[in-house]
Amino acid sequence: MEPATVRSRAGRPRATRGSTGRDPREEILDAAAALFVENGYAATTTRAIAERTGIRQASLYYHFAGKEEILAALLEQTVRPSVDVARSLRADDRLSPAAALHRLAVYDVEALAAAPHNVGTLYLSPEARHERFAGFRAARRELRDAYGALAEEALADALRGTWRADELGAVIIHLVEIAITLRNDGDPVDAEHVADACLRVCGLHEDAIAAARAAG
């Protein structure tokens, strides 16, 4: 894609699919994710995002109100699919809580590991704390609570009463997010191993974990 060619086009901002055949909104998000992860949110301008996308800055503003809205969409994308999977797994009563938890953790780790850019590295950035990103935080909280509810149901008897569900959920979602740190360090990510570790944190023995792994 050549920015110069695209920038020379006159007329209305493109709302149709660009030269790559992808939705221009998705192209903008992809370019922004690459720049935010590589150089940081503060150091990235909407101009740089438009240039990398191969569109004019005005076209970018046709799709997004600004940089904050782009980051909000990117952060939400890192949790939204897993929130949906968590809902459908919790509604599926053929799966044991341990099997559902294992499957959710595998899905989530693989999604974080396979995303085109490691946007999770922005979770702890000062910008992500702002009010503007309340939607992302609410979605991540829903995912944490789904982990907490499944983990509480799966919990070994010996641990009942020692952990609150929200504390358990916080530990499990954090464990899953190791995919972000491993990617950042250039280390391989084994989703099955991480999901097994989530069940061990719940105090399950190896035979119960093997059964959950097979069913999940």
CB of 56 to a second copy, least distance (A): 26
Decide whether 159 or 165 has the Cβ nearer to a second copy: 159
Site string for a second copy, 93-122 (x = CB under 8 A): ---------------------------xxx
Using CB atoms within 10 Å of the CB of residue 116, give its burial: 0 to 12 exposed, 13 to 18 middle, 19+ buried: exposed
Residues numbered 47-86 forming contacts with a second copy, rule: CB under 8 A: none
- The answer to whether the beta carbons of residues 66 and 31 sit under 8 Å apart is no
Q: CA separation (Å) from 109 to 98, 127, 190?
A: 16, 24, 8
Work out which of 14, 25, 200, 213 binds a second copy, going by CB under 8 A.
Answer: 200
Query: Rounded to whole angstroms, how far apart are CA atoms 115 and 193?
Result: 19
Query: Are residues 195 and 106 in contact, defined by beta-carbon separation less than 8 angstroms?
Result: yes
- Of these, 5, 19, 20, 184, which contacts a second copy (CB under 8 A)? 184
C-beta closer to a second copy: residue 2 or 157: 157
| Among the listed residues 11, 21, 126, 161, the single contact to a second copy using CB under 8 A | 126
What whole-number distance in Å separates Cα of residue 157 and Cα of residue 74?
Answer: 39
Tell the smallest beta-carbon distance from residue 42 to a second copy (Å). Answer: 4
Contacting a second copy (CB under 8 A), which of 39, 47, 69, 84?
39
Q: Which stretch binds a second copy (CB under 8 A): 54-62, 92-100, 147-155, 194-202?
A: 194-202
Residues that bind a second copy (CB under 8 A): 37-43, 120-127, 129, 156, 158-159, 163, 167, 170-171, 174-175, 177-178, 180-182, 184-185, 187, 190, 193-194, 197, 200-203, 205-206
